[in-house]
Amino acid sequence: MNYEVWLMLRGFNLDFWEEHDIEKAIAEFGKLLAWQEDPNHLARVIIKARVVDLAEIPWFIVCSEGESWTYQCEILQANLLGGGPPNEEHNPIGPDDVQPNFFEFFGFG
């Protein structure tokens, strides 16, 4: 898991506002870390999860339990875990007396 993200699930069915249902809903692309039930905002669920790649998070997720519905998934914030890739090393500076035309490459004129 490379990223820790905050996601907003819009239109998530109220009948499935339980932790194991939300874990199942995002299990295809990530792992649930935390969520809090907010009865003042029933149209959305905000969760904290870990994912491998941000490109794997779908914009819309289809769920079915007898009947099917679609809800929207938006990335609110993403943090890269650990360090990024190492810095590239600069090319060593060679001596100034090397002439590029000194070597002959046969077959190139």
pTM: 0.70
pLDDT in tens, 25-59: 899 999 999 998 888 988 899 999 999 989 999 99
What the block records as the tokens of 95 is: 């001596």
Residues sharing a CB contact under 8 Å with residue 22, sequence separation 6 or more, in sequence order: 9, 12, 16, 32, 35, 45, 47
Distance CA 45, CA 13 (A): 10
Share of the chain above pLDDT 70, in %: 78
pLDDT reported for residue 72: 93
Contact status, residue 68 vs residue 25, Cβ threshold 8 Å: no
Dihedral over alpha carbons 3, 9, 15, 18 (to 10 degrees): 20
Residues sharing a CB contact under 8 Å with residue 2, sequence separation 6 or more, in sequence order: 51, 52, 53, 80, 81, 82
